[in-house]
Amino acid sequence: MVKKPTNKVYVIGVGMSKFIKPRGQVDYPEFGLEAAIKALNDAKLSYDQIEFAACGFCYGDSTSGQRVLYQLGMTQIPVINVNNNCSTGSTALLQARNAVASGMVDCAMALGFERMQRGSLKSNWSDRTPPMDHVHNLMNEQIQYKGNAPRAPQIFGNAGVEYMRRYGATEDHLAKIAEKNHRHSSKNPYSQFRDIYTLDQIKQSPTIYGPLTKLQCCPTSDGAGCSIVASEEFVLKHGLLDQAVEICAQVMATDSPKMLSTDPIEWCGADMTRRAANTAYEQAGITSNDVQVVELHDCFSANELVTYDALGLTPKGQAHKLIDTGDNTYGGKYVINPSGGLISKGHPLGATGLAQCTELTWQLRRWAGDRQVDNVKYALQHNVGLGGAVVVTIYKKATNNFTQPHVGYNPAVEARSINKQDFANAAAKKANQAEYLQVEAKL
């Protein structure tokens, strides 16, 4: 049993870059710096007030996190580099939160960034055993591997096919999920794609695998996200309580033996999501019925469908009914992926979990403008990686007082670039940092 920490932890600053196509136009140090500066400015802090940092990325050499953060100062704090497949960003947030919850530090940073390769995800190591070899073998035995399709859409696509066979969902339900997320992303200035598509356009886009068409699959992306967390004592000392968002519960789980079964729904980590969600609800003292807004891991429309069940948003086997009643979008019971989700916002692996945290923080602060969800009290986050790990997080506003953005604009509705003043406000203030910062920071 995962115990709930006795020390409260709050998100006090968030920031992210735009998510863009992976074309090598911007390198990871620039992405990471932008997100970190925005989060520091949001928290009204400088980098030398950060006591611990966890940096998440999947595409890059070891200690890339240090390369990003040294631009803000070489303050000799612990920096941990995290790689946990698609759940990397939330894993970094978990590490930062645990550092504060344990009492080890009072203020920590979680930073995630990615400069990805073009095209579908693939292994970079052909000379050793892949972490998902057991699932690949099972899939080949049960369904037969389709060599012309990437493996990730096959795993998630087969889960969708099984859900349809077992419970009566249809291909239209999968397409409606994608239509919703593209529509939501049209109001998100950070999204990689902001076009709205009709249901027919979703269904008629090129087939990737099984029922999944191109517009039902997340793209590869470049970008970064950052969250700063702090103890209650730190929050009160710095007068940040009214903008703070409490992490009521945060649980990581890994696969159960069900992943080794012949059930395609379990190949994509459904059981670890169930465990993490149930434990998180228990820790927070709520049920799924208390949640108003959800950011979940819709790498493919099929995964959003099966995750409705796994998160307990619907009774088992009734995920498609949530779609039929409109209870997954504005005006319904939940608003799921108001950011546009991975399908349309984009999916830079290391940044995704922190972008989800950023969106939910803005929602709880009531900063989200045209995509604001009404009467948000609890926000739910789900970030999963095959292989596998999942992090489920529940947030609520620390107080019923609401602040306005203080950086000269509302970052929830306007994706501005950073400038020299932003950098000056965020960089370490110690005199011995000045020379390095002048040389390395490129704004």
> Among 86-95, 256-265, 330-339, 424-433, which stretch is predicted with the lowest mean pLDDT?
424-433
Q: Which residues contact 260 (CB under 8 A, 6 or more apart)?
A: 134, 138
Chain segment 397-432, per-residue pLDDT in tens: 999 999 999 999 999 999 999 999 999 999 999 745
Q: Which residues contact 58 (CB under 8 A, 6 or more apart)?
A: 83, 85, 88, 114, 349, 350
Closest CA to 273 of 260, 254, 292: 254
pLDDT of 439 strictly over 60: no
Question: Helix 349-365 crosses helix 28-43 at what angle (to 10 degrees)?
Answer: 20
pLDDT (average), residues 69-88: 97
pLDDT of 303 strictly over 50: yes
CB of 278 closer than 8 Å to CB of 289: no
Residues carrying an active site annotation: 86
Tokens of 385: 């990686």
Q: 237 or 133: whose pLDDT is higher?
A: 237
Tokens of 121: 């995800």
**pTM for the structure as a whole:** 0.95
Chain center to CA of 341: 9
pLDDT (average), residues 65-88: 97
Is residue 2 very low, low, confident or very high in pLDDT (cuts 50, 70, 90)?
low
Tokens of 297: 């891991």
pLDDT of 1 strictly over 70: no
Rounded Cα gap, residues 353 and 175, in angstroms? 24
What proportion of the chain, given as a percentage, has pLDDT over 70? 95
